Amino acid sequence: MAMARRLASSLLSHSLYAARCSSSLFPGARTHDLAFGVLRMFSMAAEPITPPVEVHHTQLLIDGKFVDSASGKTFPTLDPRTGEVIAHVAEADLEDVNRAVSAARKAFDEGPWPKMTGYERSHILYRFADLIEKHNDEIAALETWNSGKPYEHTSQKEVPLVTRLMRYYAGWADKIHGLTVPADGPYHVQVLHEPIGVAGQIIPWNFPLMMFAWKVGPALACGNTIVLKTAEQTPLSALYVSKLLHEAGLPAGVLNVVSGFGPTAGAAIASHMDIDKLVFTGSTVTGKIVLELAARSNLKPATLELGGKSPMIVMDDADIDQAVELAHFALFFNQGQCCCAGSRTFVHERVYDEFVEKSKAHALKRIVGDPFKNGVQQGPQVDEKQLNKIMHYIESGINSGATLVAGGNRIGNKGFYVQPTVFSDVKDEMAIAREDIFGPVQSILKFKDLDEIIRRANATEYGLAAGVFTNNMNTANTLMRALRVGTVWFNCFHVFDPTIPFGGYKMSGQGREKGIDSLKNYLQVKAVVTPLKNPAWL
Ligand code: NAI
Ligand code: MG
């Protein structure tokens, strides 16, 4: 409550809201942007709102204790609203990963966790969920501060969903069991499902806490131990909740969390001989690197959730206003930083022009600003590297002949804000239609008929998700089977319930997270065969 009051008063003291887009506020803006109307956002000159939380944990978490890195090195973690340093965080390298793996190995081979009953493990996970719920607003504030996501979303949606995910996996912990199978002969055959061992988990920055939950939840429910590396951009929230997990009763060494960079700490995890399973979310390029490291070391199995270029298909029977809104959400949600973003908006030619006009109006209405301010829909991109990548793609869209209908500029020169950007007349071969931009840049393409859209939607190396807007059952039945993707959302998008499996076809990855399928990532299957002395009882 105190937290909510502090935030409310902080929000009131920053009433510079919905400042009109003017050339003095956006010196870099092209003149035609200003003619688009009012892009509502706070003045970038305003002081950023003070986050209603303090940073307590910046060290590595190894064997139940917060410790410095072996080298003593730290790296700064930044506030994407300003580019300023929030805190210096201990930087893990090979030696720290070795220490973390030793702790996890010992906790698996000798500790109580894998031997506990599922019911005991579920209790700890339920208590953890209660603690996340209790500290919801502080965790959300830390997540917003470190990643730039709107606080309204982290506090009302993402952190509550993390609580929900933990309860989902707590519920599984005492329901994981094997089978007996009827072999063709005088044998009693059991199939045991055992924890796989030490899981090495590498997560990205676009959903730092959610990715933590998707990975840690099933691994713990199945009785494994963990070494997890956070993304170098966003180490803070995982350290905070890991402390809570120990308060909930997790034995030391079961979860070890290291902050650090990919080619050092990340590669040390992927290639470690004492890690039994690798689970990774991030780019396809890095996914290939970690898979190769896993194969060259101890051939550890890997679950990978990688990039995407998901089609969002709008058929001509669709209610245009609803379709525009959904396609806007499919792309712009989370600053456009979603592996499954609807980043190819395919619109039927009969409704194309109206759709483009309305999408432009929607983008111009989007409220960009300090993510701690109420009503803000879009915060800054996570860091300068992502900002530059997005600006490069906007330039590439313009140069390749797409029509820029909204946005196109960086906002201000402090922090990593980008105008909601819309391109029409996008063609399949353009880089903006093929590559993973990971930013607030919508590409609208035109199509004529069902056969054509099936072929074009599938003509990509990715296969993570697709959205379809239609009320025609025959169209829906055809598309749900024809699209080569791990998720098809009909008349909805970004639905992330804990029960629904998520993952990719093709170069979007392998394996599934969430849902019952996620448990398979963390279980070994052991067949046990005993001859039956009295085959009469077969
Ligand atoms: P990345 O895939 O390189 O990083 C993701 C994680 O992998 C981070 O924890 C990073 O430290 C680690 N990592 C990086 N190199 C590694 C290596 N050699 N060995 C082991 N671990 C390594 O993604 P990055 O560089 O942050 O973003 C680049 C692009 O990747 C984005 O612009 C976006 O297109 C895509 N991406 C996709 C995500 C998804 O959810 N599928 C999430 C984040 C980025
Ligand atoms: Mg990278």
**What's the 3-state SS for 278-318?**
EEEECCHHHHHHHHHHHHHCCCCCEEEECCCCCEEEECCCC
Choose from 10-24, 27-41, 131-145 the range with maximum mean pLDDT. Answer: 131-145
Report the pLDDT averaged over residues 143-153. 98
In a domain, 236, yes or no: yes
Determine the average pLDDT of the residues in 174-179: 97
Atom of ligand 1 nearest to the CA of 436: 34
Residue nearest to atom 12 of ligand 1 (CA): 262
Does 327 share its domain with 294? no
CB-based contact 445:344 (threshold 8 Å): yes
Q: Are residues 302 and 324 in the same domain?
A: no
**Mean pLDDT, the chain, integer:** 92
Q: Catalytic residue at 325?
A: no
Cα dist. 503→101, 211, 308, 483 in Å?
Answer: 27, 13, 10, 14
Pairing of strands 417-418, 441-447: unpaired
Same domain, 105 and 174: yes
Q: 425 and 443: one domain?
A: yes
Q: Is the pTM of this model over 0.75?
A: yes
- C-alpha to C-alpha distance for 343 and 350, rounded to whole angstroms: 21
Task: Give a yes or no: residue 142 inside a domain.
Answer: yes
Residue with CA at minimum distance from ligand 1 atom 25: 283
Task: Give the mutation target among 286, 390, 432 for probing the ligand 1 site: most ligand atoms within 8 A of CB.
Answer: 286
Has residue 141 got a pLDDT over 70? yes
Q: For residue 70, give its domain range.
A: 60-306
- Which domain-ending residue is among 306, 325, 341? 306
Q: Is residue 117 part of a domain?
A: yes
d(CA 365, CA 18): 10
CA distances from 374 to 152, 163, 264, 382 (A): 7, 23, 39, 20
Identify the domain boundary among 280, 306, 332.
Answer: 306
Ligand 1 neighbour 206 (Cβ under 6 A):
yes
Note whether residue 186 is domain-resident.
Answer: yes
Alpha-carbon distance 71 to 160, whole Å? 37
Q: Are residues 37 and 76 in the same domain?
A: no
Q: Would you state the pLDDT for residue 536?
A: 67
Candidate of 211, 214, 283 to mutate for ligand 1, largest count of ligand atoms within 8 Å of Cβ: 283
Q: Is the pLDDT of residue 5 over 60?
A: no
pLDDT digits (tens, 9 = 90+) for 250-297: 999 999 999 999 999 999 999 999 999 999 999 999 999 999 999 999
Flag whether 513 is in a domain: no
Q: Does residue 371 sit in the same domain as residue 413?
A: yes
Question: Average pLDDT for residues 399-421, to the nearest whole number?
Answer: 98
Element (H or E) spanning 506, and its range? strand 505-506
Centroid of ligand 2 to alpha carbon of 379 (angstroms): 22
Q: Which residues of 340-379 are buried (b: 16+ CB within 10 A; e: fewer)?
A: bbbbbbbbbeebbeebbebbbbbbbebbbbbbbbeebbbb
Res 356 pLDDT > 90: yes
pLDDT at 139 over 70: yes
Shared domain for 319 and 419, answered yes or no, is yes
What average pLDDT score do residues 213-237 get? 98
383 Cβ below 6 A of ligand 1: no
Tell me, what's the pLDDT at 307? Answer: 96
Per-residue model confidence as pLDDT tens digits over 453-494: 999 999 999 999 999 999 999 999 999 999 999 999 999 999
Place of tokens 């992927």: 270
Q: How far is CA 302 from the centre of its chain?
A: 18
Mean pLDDT throughout 369-378?
98
Among candidate residues 409, 374, 392, 417, the one with its CA nearest the CA of residue 82: 417
pLDDT given at position 537: 61
Q: What is the pLDDT of residues 45-64, one digit of tens each?
A: 678 999 999 999 999 999 99
Distance (Å, whole) CA 6 – CA 134: 17
pLDDT at 2 over 60: no
Atom of ligand 1 nearest to the CA of 293: 19
The pLDDT-based confidence of 318 (bands split at 50, 70, 90) is confident
What is the DSSP track for 121-174?
Answer: HHHHHHHHHHHHHHTHHHHHHHHHHHH---HHHIIIIIHHHHHHHHHHHHHHTT
Domain CATH code at residue 408: 3.40.309.10
Same domain, 297 and 349: no
CA distance linking residue 498 with residue 296, whole number of Å = 33
The answer to the question of residue 376 being in a domain is: yes
pLDDT score, position 132? 99
**Same domain flag for 298 and 364:** no
CA terminus-to-terminus distance, the chain: 64
Q: Is residue 223 part of a domain?
A: yes
Q: Ligand 2 mean position to 134 CA, how many Å?
A: 34
Q: How far is 367 from 465, CA to CA, in rounded Å?
A: 26
The pLDDT score that the predictor gives to residue 46 is 77
Q: Is 100 exposed, middle or buried (0-12, 13-18, 19+ CB in 10 A)?
A: buried
Are both 75 and 190 inside the same structural domain? Answer: yes
Residue 520 covered by a domain? no
Q: Give residue 533's pLDDT.
A: 85
Q: What's the mean pLDDT in 236-256?
A: 98
pLDDT band at 535 (very low <50, low <70, confident <90, very high): low
Tell whether 328 and 367 lie within a shared domain.
yes
| Same domain for 260 and 146 | yes
Q: Whose Cα sits closest to atom 18 in ligand 1?
A: 263
